[in-house]
């Protein structure tokens, strides 16, 4: 069952800026990653889901509620972490957390306290003096502390050090295990690959691919790195008709792409040469993203 729906969403700002006929959904208990560079349309899409912007055409819904027409009700159901966090400069962190808790009529602060400890946050200081990383931790605490069923997170680990990024990954896994539904944009391929069930890739305001990370890892095309003991064996294999991705003649190495069904052909060919080593090169989300993004193909 989908809890977040983006249906043919279009918002044209001119000069090819905006989002165009964007459609995807996030199911209950699913973590959906949103990948794309700055300006691709991630934040624009999320702002429509928050009811901050009215679509020119199409619609966005949260739990069946139109995000623009029922913006007040929608905001009560979600936790939101914006990509650019603007905090009041005349408050201390503890005051701001209490202020947000009061707005949400939150009485039980135990989860807030756990998050403050988990992310090693000292909220006692003036917010205007906080670093980017400290402000990001404040945003995480405020987005998660009221136990929302739905979370919309725009670049949630921006400004965090590697240890805190790892803590955030563990938080996402725990929230998913508790049945939360999460839409999360990120530039961090490993972070998205480790946490997301599905990933939508957006380019120039258009969805170019929606994929499951496990499908990338289980791709029917395999890649092997092979080194030969002699240049003669290297050259012979170079001209054997296989798809060569990369050549390293100074090391007598080849990187070969091959379909699963043809691996026996590769092994037969290699048996005729002296091989120093052979290893499989695992396919990654980053590699998949770059191939689709540069090509601009559509695979939804």
Over residues 186-219, the pLDDT tens digits come to: 877 888 888 999 999 998 999 988 988 877 766 6
In a domain, 288, yes or no: no
Same structural domain, 155 and 7: yes
pLDDT of residue 294: 62
Residue ranges for the chain with pLDDT beneath 70: 217-220, 283-284, 288, 290-300
Residue 227 near residue 275 (C-beta atoms within 8 A): yes
In a domain, 140, yes or no: yes
In a domain, 167, yes or no: yes
Q: Retrieve residue 228's tokens.
A: 């030969």
Same structural domain, 32 and 164: yes
Nearest to 48 by CA among 16, 12, 15, 14: 12
pLDDT of residue 199: 93
The residue from 212, 242, 261 where one domain ends is 212
Same structural domain, 150 and 252: no
Same structural domain, 236 and 206: no
Same structural domain, 118 and 259: no
Domain that holds residue 55: 2-212
Same structural domain, 6 and 72: yes
pLDDT of residue 299: 35
Q: Is 13 exposed, middle or buried (0-12, 13-18, 19+ CB in 10 A)?
A: exposed
> Which CATH number fits the domain that encloses residue 39?
3.40.50.300
User: How many other C-beta atoms can be found within 10 angstroms of the C-beta atom of residue 7?
Assistant: 15
3-class SS at 119?
A: coil
The residue from 212, 243, 268 where one domain ends is 212
CA atoms within 13 A on the CB side of 186: 26
Residue 300 near residue 203 (C-beta atoms within 8 A): no
Residue 150 near residue 178 (C-beta atoms within 8 A): no
Report pTM: 0.77
Phi, psi of 82 (to 5 degrees): -75, 160
Nearest to 59 by CA among 106, 22, 16: 22
Same structural domain, 48 and 196: yes
The secondary structure of 124-176 as a DSSP string is TSBGGG--HHHHHHHHHHHHHTT--SEEEEESTTTT--HHHHHHHHHHHHHHH
What is the DSSP-derived secondary structure letter of residue 53?
A: S
Same structural domain, 85 and 110: yes
């Amino acid at each position: 069952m989908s809890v977040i729906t983006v249906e043919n969403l279009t918002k044209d700002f001119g000069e090819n800026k905006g989002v165009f006929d964007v459609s995807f959904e996030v199911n209950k208990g699913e973590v959906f990653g949103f990948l794309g560079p700055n300006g691709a349309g991630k934040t624009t899409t999320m702002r429509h889901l928050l009811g901050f912007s009215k679509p020119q055409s199409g619609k966005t819904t949260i739990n069946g509620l139109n995000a623009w027409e029922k913006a007040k009700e929608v905001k009560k159901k979600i936790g939101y972490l914006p990509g650019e966090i603007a905090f009041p400069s005349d408050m201390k962190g503890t005051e701001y957390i209490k202020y947000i808790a009061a707005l949400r009529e939150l009485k039980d602060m135990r989860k807030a306290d756990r998050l403050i400890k988990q992310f090693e946050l000292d909220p006692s200081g003036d917010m205007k003096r906080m670093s980017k990383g400290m402000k990001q931790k404040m945003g995480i605490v405020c987005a998660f502390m009221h136990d929302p069923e739905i979370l919309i997170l725009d670049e949630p680990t921006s400004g965090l050090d590697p240890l805190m990024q790892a803590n955030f990954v563990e938080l996402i896994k725990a929230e998913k295990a508790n049945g939360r539904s999460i839409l999360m944009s990120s530039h961090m391929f490993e972070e998205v690959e480790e946490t997301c069930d599905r990933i939508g890739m957006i380019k120039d305001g258009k969805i170019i691919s929606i994929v499951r990370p496990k499908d990338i890892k289980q791709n029917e095309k395999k890649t092997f790195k092979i080194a030969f003991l002699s240049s003669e064996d290297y050259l012979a294999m170079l001209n054997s008709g296989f798809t060569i991705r990369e050549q390293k003649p100074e090391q007598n190495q080849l990187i070969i792409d091959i379909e699963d069904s043809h691996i026996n052909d590769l092994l037969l060919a290699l048996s005729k040469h002296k091989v120093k080593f052979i290893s499989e090169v695992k396919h990654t989300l980053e590699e998949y993203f770059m191939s689709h993004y540069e090509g601009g193909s559509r695979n939804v």
